[in-house]
Amino acid sequence: MSESLKLAVLLGGPSAEREVSLRSGAAVARALRSRGHTVHEVDPEPGALRLPAGTQAVFLALHGTYGEDGTVQAELEQLGVPYTGCGVAASLFAFDKVVTKRRCLAAGVPTAKFVVFNSATAGWPEGWVPPVVLKPTRQGSSVGLQFVDRVEDFPRQLAESLRFGGEVVMEERITGRETTVGILDGHALPIVEVRPKAGAYDYTNKYTAGRTEYFCPAEFDAPTTARIQEAALGAFRAICGRDYARVDVMVRPDGSPVVLEVNTLPGMTETSLLPKAAAAVGLDFATLCERMVRLALNRTPQG
C-alpha cells in the first residue's frame, strides 16, 4: 500500500472495555502514521457517528459493546465507508457467546459444555459439578468473568457476573493449556500459549504487565498444532468471519482442542496477542495494521 491514505481510527467508545480500546487505537494510529498515512482518531458517540471529510477507510480499534457487536459496523455500512474486520452478522454472532457456541456445535467445532442463566435467583443446575466458569454472554476482555469452585459460592458469583449484562453462560472449566489463534486473511497464524504466573487468565492478569507469560509459536507437536488451528478456523468460519479475528482455544491434556470464543476485534497494542502471532511470521506491527486496512479496501462495498 504505497499511496498515502486518509484514515480514521475509531477508539474508546462507550463499553466496559473503553480503556483497552483507547490503548489499541493509539497504537494503531501511531503505526499507520509511521507508514505515511493521514490518521484521525475518532472517539465515537453511538448513533451520532461523524467521520472526517474524505475518510477512505476506518480502522476499528473498538472493543466490547457498540464496537464489536455489529452496531458500529451497521452505521459504517450506512455511510458506505470501508472498515476493518468482520461484518455486521459475524460481529453479532461472535459477540454473543451462546450464539457462537451453538454455531460451533452445528459446524462440528468442539466447544465446552454450557448452560445459560438470566436470573440471579437461578439454582445450581442438575448434573453439574464444580469447577465451572461464569461469563457474561455479551462482554469481552474477561469482563465479569467468575471462576466457581464451590456450589455455595454460586449465587454470589452469578449475581456478580450478571452485573455486566442480563445473561450469563456457565461452562465446564477445561483443564489444560490455554491458547489463542490469530486468523489473518483466512489463514491461521502461529499459536500463542498463555500462562498466567498465578491464578487464572482474568482481567487483572491479562492487563497487568508481568502477570502472564506468552509463548509463540506454542510448543505443540505438528498434529496437535494442526488440530488447534483447524478448530480455530472452524469457529471463524462458523461465525461467518472475514479478514481477521482471534480465537481462544483450550487444549486438554490429550491434545484435543476446545474453542472458548471468537474475538472479532482483538486487542491491537504492539504487545497484544494477534500482533505477537503476526510477528512470529515476520509481520511487524505497522505492516499488520496496514494489511488490515488493505483487506478492507479490497472488498466490494457489499463485502
Would you please indicate which residues are annotated as catalytic (active-site) residues?
17, 141, 207, 246, 248, 261, 263, 267
Burial zone of 210 (CB within 10 Å; 0-12 exposed, 13-18 middle, 19+ buried): exposed
C-alpha cell at 61: 480499534
Q: In what order do the strands lie in the sheet with 177-184?
A: 212-215, 187-196, 177-184, 244-251, 257-263
44 contacts 58 by C-beta, under 8 angstroms: no
Helix, strand, coil percentages (3-state) for the chain, rounded to 5, are: 30, 25, 45
How many other C-beta atoms are found inside a 10 Å radius of the C-beta of residue 150? 9
Question: What's the CA gap between 122 and 118, in Å, rounded?
Answer: 8
Name residue 168's beta-bridge partners: 117, 136
